[in-house]
Every structure is written in C-alpha cells, then in structure tokens.
Structure 1
Amino acid sequence: MLAFLTRPSRLLPNGPIDAALQLVVVVIAYTLYQNTRGLINDQLGASQAFANADWIVSTERLLHLDMEAGIQSFARSVPGLSDAASLMYLNAQFSVTFGAMIYIYLRHNEAFGFVRNMFIGAWTLALIGYVLLPTAPPRLVPGLGIHDAVAEMTKVDPADQTSTVSKLFNPYAAVPSMHVGFSLMIGIPLARLSRHRVTKVFWSAYPVVVLFVVMATGNHFFLDGVFGALAVGISALVARRLGQLRPHAWQFGAREPVPEGAAS
C-alpha cells in the first residue's frame, strides 16, 4: 500500500522516503557545522587568530605566494568585477553548492552517497581547523592594505554584534577555506559526471574561480585555500574507504541510474 514511498521515479531516483532522509541528514549536518562554527569565536582566540595570520603572511612571502593584495587590486581596477566577486562569494557556499548537490541527487544519484559523505567529513575537519588554528582573514590584518569587498558592496558591517547573522559568524574561521573546499567537492564530481565538454570545462574551472573570488574579496589567503583543498583530499579518501563498506550506496558512480523505461 505504501510502496510508492520507496518506489523509484523519474523525479526521485530512490523514492520520496530516501529523498526526505538525505535532505534531513544534509540539513542537520550543515546546521551543526554552521552553528558550531559560529560558537568558536572568543576574545582569547582573537589574539591567536592574528598571530596565525601573521604566520601565514610570513610563510607566503617566503614562498612568494603572497598574491592577495595584487589580486584584489586587479579586481578593483576592472569595473564591476569586485562587486561580481562579492556576489559570488555570498552565493557560492550555499546557493551554488546545495543546488549542485540537489542536481547530483536527482540526475546522478549513483554518485550522491560519496559526495554527501565527503561533505560531512570536510565539515568535521573544518571545525577541527577552526578550533586548532583560528586565523584572521586578510581583510582584518593591519598593514596589508586589503579591503573588505563584501562589506563595501552590501554596506553591512560584519563586526556588528547586534545582528542575528553575527551570532553565526566567526571572523576567525579562515583556515581551512571551505569556500574553496565546497567548490572542489562539487566542481570535480560534476566535471567527471558531465557529458558535454562545455560543462566539464566550466566545473573544472569553478574551483579556480572561487579561489580568485575569496582572495579578491579579502576573505582568504592563498594558503587558506590550500588547507581547504587538503581537507577535501582527506575527506575524499575517507569517503572512498566508506564506499568499500557499502559499495552499492556510497561508492562514486557505483550504481547505474534507473532506466527511464523502468521508472514509474
């Protein structure tokens, strides 16, 4: 009688119950990540955050990777580019990411379990990073001459503690950069899953564009992005290992999509 709740269809590959379950899992995991991220913010950690930022600045200069000021200067010299980067920064981590996850679930369900597990692993590693390595973003570090492009565009002061958003906002959660991490976790899978050259190129380039965006807006150092990529790499290895435990559900591309003729 209730078979329709688990029966695959053209819209929901594994039926309504599975779709609801996956939604609940992702929403709970992301909510825990966001709320915990916002709580890891105290005055004692602020001094350490600036000390860690100074270490990153010194390391980048030693390795000749200190490109943030130059990238922001370029973005500000091109009419509209800085605002476009700010808009993308505001949307890349939530709208684009979760839109892509929904697309993967609906159109490439055989890869969704792997991608979901990778995200949960990366969120966990990110929280560990925020605790162990609180780091101020370039826009807050004195002497670098880097502007807060997002604040300039939106006219919203991120330091305003009276807003509801500020309660979930941690200005010292720069390492690892999960903007870069998220872009890799959707860009690489979608590039692999895409059948058309244009979309393959687009999703392959997407993480590079996001890396440019986070530096152009003054929100991350280059090395923040490197740490984000490292978190993704570790999470991908964990997701791959989990896929060996449940190959049918959690391996990337382990299952074939439901044939249209078999859908009801």
Structure 2
Amino acid sequence: MRLGGSNPRLQQRIEQARIELARVWRASAGWLPHGWGDALLQLALFAGAYYAYRLVRGHVDGEVARAFANARAIVDFERALGLFFEPGLQAWASSHRWIVEAASAMYVNSHFVVTTTFLIWLYIARNEAFYFVRNMFVVAMALALVGYALLPTAPPRFMPEWGFVDTVADVFGETAQRSASALYNPFAAIPSMHVAFALMIGIPGALLVRNRLLKVVWGLYPLLVTLVVLVTGNHFWLDAALGALVALVSALVARAALARARPDAWGWQTDPARAVS
C-alpha cells in the first residue's frame, strides 16, 4: 500500500518532503569529514560504551559492603604512606565558599560537556587526529569496566566519619550528583575517569591548538580536574593516580598496537593531507 492512499496532493507533499530531507542530508554531510556514515559509526561506538557501563553498574550496585571495604582499604593505605591529605584539602576549600561552588559546578558539567565538545571539535576540525584519540577512549573505557567490576569502591563523600562532605549535593542538591555524568555509578571511584578523560583530551588539545594561551589552558585542564574531584569528595588521590595510569596505558596501546595495525587511519596524525578514515 502506498503511503497517502489515493490522495494525489498528499502523495505530492510526501514526495516533496522526502526530496527536501534528502537534500538537507546531502548538504549537511558536506561539513562532515567523511559524511554521515562515518559520523554515525563513531556515535554508535560511544553509545555502545555507554550501555556497557550500564551493564557493569547493574553488577556493581549490589556490592555495597565490598565497595565500602575497598574505600576503607584506600584510607588505610594512604595513611600508611602519610599521604591521607584529602580531608584537610576539602576543609581548606570549604573555608573559601567560592572554591567549593566553582569546583562543584565544574564537576557537574565539565566531564560530559567539555569532553563531548572537544571530541566533536576534534572530529570536525582536526579529523586526522580523531581516530587515535577515539581508540584511546575505547581502551580506557574497557580498562575502567574491569576496574569497576573487580574493585567497586565508594567515593570519599560517602565517608563522613573521616570528615568528608558531599559538596555537590550541598551546593546543588542530591539529584545533581547523579546527573553529574550520564555514566553515573555510585561505586565507580577506581579508576577516576574524570582524570583519565581530562588527560586524554588535555594533552591532545595542547598539542593540536596553535594559540599559546589555549595550549596553556589545555595543559592545565587535567590538573584542574584532579583538584576538582578531590575538593568535591568524589575521589581519593589514589583514584586519580590510577585514572592517570589508565590514560597512559590507553595511549600506549593506541600507539603500540592499534596504530601499527592501521597506521594511516589510527596513528597519531596532525597533517590533514595524510588523514585516512
């Protein structure tokens, strides 16, 4: 049966709409480096990672006791090293209300907004470098899933007995903490993917932009994110260090393994003329 039945005018309007949509589709593909097909493929890869996170979350949410035991083990480890400074850092920040508010606002917004905006810019404006960075993200997310499954860990904000405060909830309310990331997992402290993501966009950003001020901003971005996750009570410094390790391992795998498999497509490139999808 033809859509529109025997109404010629309706059929004509449907055909005109189809032609117009096809024209818009072709025109919009002009500003995409490799058309809509490749762009949708990249979106599908990140969407797949999202659902993998959801599956792991369903497993981890049932291990509350284990998550708190792991968090207490981190406290004991840091105290043994004489480096359990997070409560003091948060207390210092709390004496300066603007620091707490700024850090909480950045925690709620930066992980998703800054990362997504950078990846979109990278794909459109510096596509030759996108696939290497994408591969780093894929490897990092896989490593994070392993960490979350093997070491579910409660964040410091769940441990008021040590003087920790949930600054995000205090400033924005309880729901803000859950909306801080589309990949919310209450016991996903190890590794800190806030820090891993910040490194995986901060270093490429500093290498790719030409403006000196922007190079400094991107270079300092991972340090700022690390300070934010500590001040807000969402990670221990050990979580942050393990997040940095994940970023390092992901870069090494992307360079030593994946880039060798497809050097023209997946290698770190800064020359647009050599880019191959």
Q: Give the TM-score category using the shorter length.
A: 0.7 to 0.9
Runs of at least 5 residues in structure 1 that lack an aligned partner in the other structure: 260-264
Q: CA deviation at 1:98?
A: 0.8
- TM-score scaled by structure 1? 0.86
| Cα distance change, pair 141–164 in 1 and its aligned pair in 2 (3 A) | closer
Q: Quick check: 1:104–1:112 contact (8 Å CA) kept in 2?
A: yes
Q: Would the alpha carbon gap of residues 81 and 37 (structure 1) be closer, same or farther in structure 2, given more than 3 Å must change?
A: farther
Give the residue type in structure 1 aligned to 2:137.
Answer: F
Q: Would you say 1:146 and 2:164 are equivalent positions?
A: yes
**Cα separation, 2, equivalents of 1:106 and 1:168:** 24
Give 2:232's match in structure 1, choosing from 217, 224, 228: 217
**Structure having the larger proportion of residues in helix:** 2
Matched, 1:15 2:35: yes
Tell me, yes or no, if the aligned pair for 2:144 and 2:191 is still in contact at 8 Å. Answer: yes
Quote the offset at 1:169 in angstroms: 3.9
Alignment TM-score, normalising by the size of structure 2: 0.82
Unaligned runs of 5+ in 2: 1-21
- Structure 2: how far apart are the matches of 1:65 and 1:13? 48
Query: Residue 222 of structure 1 aligns to which amino acid in structure 2?
Result: W
Q: Is the 8 A contact 1:174 1:220 kept in 2?
A: yes
Q: Percent identity?
A: 47
Deviates more, 1:31-40 or 1:147-156: 31-40
The question of whether the paired residues in 2 share the 8 Å contact of 1:40 and 1:170 is answered with no
Q: How many residues align?
A: 251
Distance in 1 (alpha carbons) for counterparts of 2:246 and 2:274: 32
Q: Which has the higher contact order (CA 8 A, sep 6+)?
A: 1
SS in structure 2 of the partner of residue 211 of structure 1: helix
RMSD across aligned positions (CA): 2.9
Q: What does residue range 26-37 of structure 1 map to in structure 2 within 5 Å?
A: 26-29=46-49, 31-37=50-56
Rg larger for: 2
2:210 equivalent among 188, 192, 195:
195
Aligned to 1:247: 263
In structure 2, what is the equivalent of residue 177 of structure 1? 192
Distance 1:57 1:164, change over 3 A: closer
Please tell me whether the aligned partners of residues 41 and 172 of structure 1 are also in contact (alpha carbons under 8 angstroms): yes
